[in-house]
Amino acid sequence: MEETKTSNTTQKSKLPLYLSLLLLLGLVLSYFFIPSVKEFFNEAWEVLTSDDNARIENWVSDFGWMGPVVLVLAMVAQMFLLVIPSLALMVVSILAYGPFWGSLIVIVAVVTASSVGYAIGTYLSETLVKKLIGATTEKKIEKFIEAYGFWAVVITRINPFLSNDAISFVAGILKMGYWKFIGATLLGIAPLTLYIAIIGENTDRLKQGLLWSSLVSLLVFGGYIWWDKKKKK
């Protein structure tokens, strides 16, 4: 009886994964068999990989109330299509929908993408994750999370130039607590989002600020690692 309960719990816990795979299969089939869907995806690919924030912003704005949904889906897709930078999507979201709503869309998109990455790492094979991010990267991030846990996720999220997607996959592989992982994600992404919301329209200041914030966050975390190792000795 107890084994049956455990089995049922496991099946229920995997339901979101099965639904995600079903949705992905539906999108793939739609792409090949529905011309309008294929045309939309081809256009989306061309625009989102153009590295032209103004063009992306105009394209997203044309969708009206569906624009946020497109941005959330794009944030999920960029985990597998590395040519679409997540930082660019964050900037476009805030430029297109304003500091408040744009920031809210960014938070929803990041949490959604992080949850998908976490689910892939938790329920699918480690071999698949290694193919997505590389075995060397997977091993380095695994050691990083095992050593610093919650703060490893925070520092990765707050630094725009570190691998956000990879840490989601590996956190899932290591079975890091989901709410702990999401809490660290929110704590790390909030200051970055706030910064983009404040000076997002000034491209030069934004680039310089992101570079400096990246360097500062790495120095602070480097200092924490040094202090932690010294304390353990």
By residue range, what is the domain housing residue 53?
A: 34-232
Q: Residue 172 burial (CB < 10 Å; 0-12/13-18/19+)?
A: buried
User: Domain for residue 91, yes or no?
Assistant: yes
User: Domain for residue 9, yes or no?
Assistant: no
0.75 cut: is pTM over it?
Answer: no
User: Domain for residue 10, yes or no?
Assistant: no
Residues 46 and 62: their CA atoms lie apart, in Å, by 16
pLDDT digit string (tens) for the chain, length 233 residues: 444 444 443 333 455 556 556 766 776 777 678 777 677 777 777 776 666 767 777 777 777 778 888 888 888 877 776 555 677 778 778 877 888 888 899 999 999 989 988 888 888 767 767 776 777 777 888 888 887 788 888 888 887 666 667 888 888 888 888 999 999 999 988 888 888 888 766 656 666 666 666 677 677 777 767 776 777 66
pLDDT score recorded for residue 12: 38
Amino acid at 27: L
User: Domain for residue 8, yes or no?
Assistant: no
Q: Which two tokens stand for residue 90?
A: 């964050």
Q: Hey, how many other C-beta atoms are within 10 angstroms of the C-beta on 232?
A: 6
What's the number of domains the chain is made of?
1
3-state secondary structure of 31: helix
Backbone CA torsion sign across 86, 165, 160, 189: positive
Residue reference for tokens 């910064």: 195
User: Domain for residue 6, yes or no?
Assistant: no
User: Domain for residue 179, yes or no?
Assistant: yes
User: Domain for residue 180, yes or no?
Assistant: yes
Amino acid at 190: A
Do residues 213 and 161 make contact, with C-beta atoms less than 8 angstroms apart? no
b or e along 125-151 (b: 16 or more beta carbons within 10 Å of the residue's beta carbon)? eeeebbebbeeebbeebbebbeebbbb
User: Domain for residue 93, yes or no?
Assistant: yes
